[in-house]
Amino acid sequence: MDLETFKKYKKLARGNWGKDFALLKMMFNGFLGILKEEEEFTPPMETILKILLNIGTARKEGREIIMHPFNYGPELFITMDLQPLMQEIFSVGLAPFHMNEPILDFSNEIGYGDNPTICNASRPLIGAYMQGTAPVPDYLFFLSTPCNSLAINYQVFESLSGVPTYNMDIPYWSIEEDSEFYDEKALEYMTNQCKSFISWLEEQTKRKFEIEKFQQTMLRLNQAREYIMEFNELLRTVPCPAGSMTGFWNWYFMATIGGSQDAVDVTKYARDAAAENVKQGIGALEDEKLRIAWPYTHVFFDRELFPWLEETYNAIAILDILGNYQVEPHDTSTLDKCYDSLAGGTLGYSMIGACRGPAEYYIEYVINYVKDYKVDCVIYPMQYACKHAFAMARITSEAVREETGIPSLIFGCDPYDSREVPAEAIRGKISEFIEQVVL
């Protein structure tokens, strides 16, 4: 990033964001400092900064804010002129700078859970709220999935803050007709909930839901989905044409600005860059040696883990469970089809499509993942509080080995707290696995 661009964004962030947004401002400055060191300032980098700035300036400009979880897109909020705030931008976004760790300690002191019981992907919200430093939105929305830890954390925040809240129930069964778990009522159930949520938003905001605007939002949303599907397809190429983090950013943009023109532009940029590399026969690594499936979340406190893998072992992590965004574009030619796209996209969202029903969903997801992307091994850095995910990883690793012969590494850690299992220990486990099992 050149000096003038850095100064521009530094200036845009000036002023008091409010006490409850102070940590978000610090986070913005942290990411700005990271991006300052990059030689090229790309559209995805600019979009990351714009997202944080828009949240920070929303209240100052009188725009109402709605908080939502990482596994739900903001397309309805954009239609209703609400400022989306994906909660995990806050609670997880602090982790790369270790700013969440004192808040986790405070959460322990006040008796709000601990590492083995409540996931630290969301627990800082409660500790920070009790300290008066958590962002407090005008409205709150959350889902019943993918885990009890997330759902209970949002319920606690609802109770403490008194913010008007809507909770959406996610059906267990599949909407795919060729699935043994198919239930013809699942999509209808989900669509009806989406419509009820729209009515709730109208009542709370005193704004009318504009059908034409909704259809335009869904048109943009599905265009971005199409670009991501094309990007995912390009990653099948050997060598891989995009770095380990690129897919993650695709998901991030869909979870924060999905349905906007910015999301269309930035997903197209990723698709075009990967397509050009494939055309030129260029890989993200000069000499790709290993392709890793990473069907869980990142180790967020160690933002150098994937670069370390790339530099040390010429290894690419081909997507992760969030970055492996699998919602295909839908027909939006009629209003009813737009509602179905909204509902179906919710059920297929990252960490919902693979984790909301029987274990077979996740097993099939990982086996297809391994086959589609020609991976050499699977790595699961499992969060201690994810008891159900630990169980799924164990049986899935066996299924993957039996069907493909590909080995798996499963180890416990806290992806959000560097003090539980330090970065050096995690890298040591991965090194031992790669050198003694994979190579």
Residues 11-41 have pLDDT tens digits of 999 888 888 999 999 999 999 999 999 888 9
CB of 32 closer than 8 Å to CB of 57: no
Which residues lie across from 379 on neighbouring strands? 409
Q: CA–CA separation, 243 vs 435, rounded Å?
A: 22
Residue 438 confidence (pLDDT): 96
135: left (phi over 0), alpha (psi -120 to 50) or beta: beta
pLDDT at res. 391: 86
Q: How many CB atoms lie within 10 A of CB 178?
A: 6
Give the distance from CA 200 to its chain's centroid: 25
Backbone angles phi, psi at 393, to 5 degrees: -65, -40
Model pLDDT for residues 374-386, shown as the tens digit of each residue? 999 999 999 888 8
Residues β-bridged to residue 166: 141
Residue 66 β-bridge partners: 84, 139
Name the residue ranges covered by the structural domains of the chain.
Answer: 64-438
* 3-state DSSP assignment of residue 408: strand
φ/ψ (deg, to 5) at 330: -115, 160
Using CB atoms within 10 A of its CB, is residue 281 exposed (0-12), middle (13-18) or buried (19+)?
Answer: exposed
- 233, with CB counted inside 10 A (0-12, 13-18, 19+), is middle
Beta bridge partners of 408: 378
pLDDT of 311 reads 96
Give the burial string for 141-174 (b: 16+ CB within 10 Å, else e). bbbebbbebbbebbebbbeebebbbbebebbebb
Residue 115 pLDDT: 66
pLDDT in tens, the chain (439 residues): 899 999 999 999 988 888 899 999 999 999 999 999 988 899 999 999 999 999 988 988 889 999 999 999 999 999 999 999 999 999 999 999 999 999 999 999 999 977 677 889 989 999 999 999 999 999 999 998 888 888 889 999 999 999 999 999 999 998 988 889 999 999 999 999 999 999 999 999 999 999 999 999 999 999 999 999 999 999 999 999 999 999 999 999 999 999 999 999 999 999 999 999 999 999 999 999 999 999 999 999 999 999 999 999 999 999 899 999 999 999 999 999 999 999 999 999 998 988 888 999 999 999 999 999 999 999 999 988 887 788 889 999 999 999 999 999 999 999 999 999 999 999 999 999 999 999 8
Q: Identify whether the C-beta of residue 228 lies closer than 8 Å to the C-beta of residue 267.
A: yes
Task: Return the beta strands (E) in 295-331 as ranges.
Answer: 315-320
Total Cβ atoms within 10 A of residue 53: 18
